[in-house]
Amino acid sequence: MGVRDRKLAYMNHAAEALFHEAAVGQPVSVLFPPDILETNSTEFLAACMAAGKAVTVAASRLRDYWILRILPDMESEAGQNERIFAGMGNQMRDALSVLGMAAELLSPAVEQMEQPKLSRHMAMIQHSYYRLMRLSENLSGYHKLSRGADRLTPRNVDVVQLCNQLLSDLRLFVKDVELRFEAEAESLIGEVDVKKLEQLLLAILSNSLKYTEAGGQVTLSVRTKRDKLLLVIRDTGRGIPEEVLPTVFQMFASEQNFTDIYAGIGLGLGIAKWIAAIHGGTILLESEEGSGTCVTVSLPRRQTDMGGFQQEPAEYRSKGMRQILTQLADVLTYEAYQTLYMD
């Protein structure tokens, strides 16, 4: 479809069939979030809600004219497979729970032996456990999100404090890439599901760290724009090849030619897409091969009126570092698991 002056200028038959309530001449906001075209880029990819449907949009600008393409939803074609993978994820998690408990019981004994070789082997076991746990949680979690079975538990949160604390915790493990934090204010309150927002951020940060070389930089910024809360993750990594870009939000779309031994199977950004959508938000991804990537998460800036606000401890603090160790398991090497933050 085509957009000019923020109005629908052209819709082909496929667009008309998909969005039958829209018509040429109407504002683009009848379908898409009103801020979707507010960017200086000439090309971008966006995961958002359009007329009640979760879609991925590829946008290209030619002078004052935007071309919007709704990318095929490969996920819906694999519905039966999703249920199978969800079951696999649950069974894996059951087995991994026993493995994790056994490893925790063995760890103190290994430490008392003071044998570097045994400690190294125990770290390898812990690393493999967290990598498999991440896969298991992503398989079952994606199925819940895509079927609308996973509900939000939102509460008022200081998003600046939450993001700053998350990045501080990441610095305990990430030593070869500079992690920077920026915020336009000391405090910005939003109504979010803390656990899911952290999962979203870790999925994006994990990808940034995975493809940013040593000595590079990853920056997390928090700012506002009118009634939106913007979380921006920008890296100086290798960027995403043009032919891969349209598939980055699709399940199992990890491109073999673009991965290394720590690459996953393409679930992380798909989950991030759904978490943003159930918050009523969007994800905008801009990337150029060799020039890094910028991901902007736009969420409605709202909060529950509770007669005042008191910051509660972030949920990942109450669970130690397990969430971070799990979500970054495909990025960190086993050495990071030799000293576990399990308290």
Contacts of 328 (CB under 8 A, 6+ apart): 170, 173, 174, 202, 205, 206, 209
Which amino acid is present at 256?
Answer: Q
191-195 average pLDDT score: 92
pLDDT in tens, 300-329: 998 776 554 444 544 434 355 788 888 888
Quickly list DSSP for 52-89: TEEEEEEEEEETTEEEEEE---HHHHTHHHHHHHHHHH
Helix intervals (H) in 31-187: 74-77, 79-113, 116-146, 159-170
Query: Cα torsion at 34, 39, 41, 45 (round to 10°)?
Result: -40
What does the alpha-carbon distance between residue 48 and residue 55 come to, in Å, rounded to a whole number?
A: 6
Spatial contact of 192 and 157, defined as CB atoms under 8 Å apart: yes
H helix or E strand, kind and range, residue 192: strand 189-192
pLDDT in tens, 165-180: 999 999 988 989 999 9
H helix or E strand, kind and range, residue 282: strand 282-287
Give Cα 24 to chain centroid, integer Å. 34
Q: Which of 102-106, 110-114, 293-297 has the highest mean pLDDT?
A: 293-297
Spatial contact of 289 and 238, defined as CB atoms under 8 Å apart: yes
Higher per-residue pLDDT: 166 or 17: 166
Q: Is the dihedral of CA 269, 275, 277, 279 positive or negative?
A: negative
pLDDT in tens, 221-237: 999 998 999 999 999 99
> What percentage of the chain reaches a pLDDT higher than 90?
29
Which amino acid is present at 42?
Answer: T
Confidence (pTM): 0.76
DSSP-derived 3-state class of residue 330: coil
Sorting pLDDT into bands at 50, 70 and 90, what band is 342? very low
**Which residue is associated with the tokens 């683009």?**
28
Residue 86 has pLDDT above 70, yes or no: no
Contacts of 16 (CB under 8 A, 6+ apart): none
What does the alpha-carbon distance between residue 25 and residue 10 come to, in Å, rounded to a whole number?
A: 8
Spatial contact of 29 and 47, defined as CB atoms under 8 Å apart: no
Q: What pLDDT does residue 121 have?
A: 87
DSSP-derived 3-state class of residue 220: strand
Spatial contact of 142 and 274, defined as CB atoms under 8 Å apart: yes
249-270 average pLDDT score: 56
Cα distances from 11 to residues 3, 74, 170, 287, in angstroms, run 9, 22, 45, 27
